[in-house]
Amino acid sequence: MESIVDFLIDTIGNWGYIGIFILMFLESSFFPFPSEIVMIPSGYLAYKGEMNLFLVVVSGILGALTGAWFNYLLADKYGRKFLEKFINSKKLNKLDTFFEKHGHISMFSGRLIPGVRQYISFPAGLAKMNGLIFSFFTALGSLIWILVLVGLGYFIGQNQELIHKYLMEITVITLIILAVIIFIYYKYQKAKK
């Protein structure tokens, strides 16, 4: 495991901010590439003074946002034609209505859920969600997750066991906080009606 981590640190160190951007683009599009193996070593390199902390975070967010837009545009251009072969238009219209009302909270929360963050842009593209709202909430959710990962690398990057321990705990805590936010949002929407 240590040799893999060393390899990643060397690779990111050699590729620099463009490497972070490219790898986070891949992570945010439909390629199964975990952000943990990009942003934690990047945080560690920032701790060592080999990278700028601010530029690490910005590169990560821009890569994640670009990858999300790649999925969005793919779904916008080809998704509906493909799905109409399997799903009737009434159900697709329900998706449009849902994203019109709740797209912002869906994008924000989806970016914080492992296994969902790569794919949440597809339904947004299918529903032709407003581009500015899509970008803002995608970037906001990505920022929070990237800060968590970079923070882990920055503060405990030398100790891989601690990273594995805290990454699991932080993911669980993030999901609990997210569940509370969604519950509050649900109650607010219900009270509005």
Least confident of 9-13, 22-26, 64-68, 73-77: 9-13
In this prediction, residue 170 carries a pLDDT of 67
Buried b or exposed e, range 16-36, using 16+ CB within 10 angstroms = bbebbbbbbbbbbbeeebebb
Q: Is the pTM above the cut of 0.85?
A: no
Domain count, the chain: 1
How far apart are alpha carbons 74 and 88 in whole angstroms? Answer: 20
Between residues 165 and 86, the one the model is more confident about: 86
Confidence bin at 38 (pLDDT 50/70/90): confident
Confidence bin at 69 (pLDDT 50/70/90): very high
The answer to whether 27 touches 118, Cβ cutoff 8 Å, is yes
Residue 64: which domain range? 2-192
Which of 33-42, 44-53, 94-103 has the largest mean confidence?
Answer: 44-53
Question: Tokens for 130?
Answer: 């407003």
The answer to whether 60 touches 38, Cβ cutoff 8 Å, is yes
Q: Is the pLDDT of residue 133 over 70?
A: yes
Positive or negative torsion for Cα 64, 185, 123, 31: positive
Mean pLDDT (the chain, rounded): 81
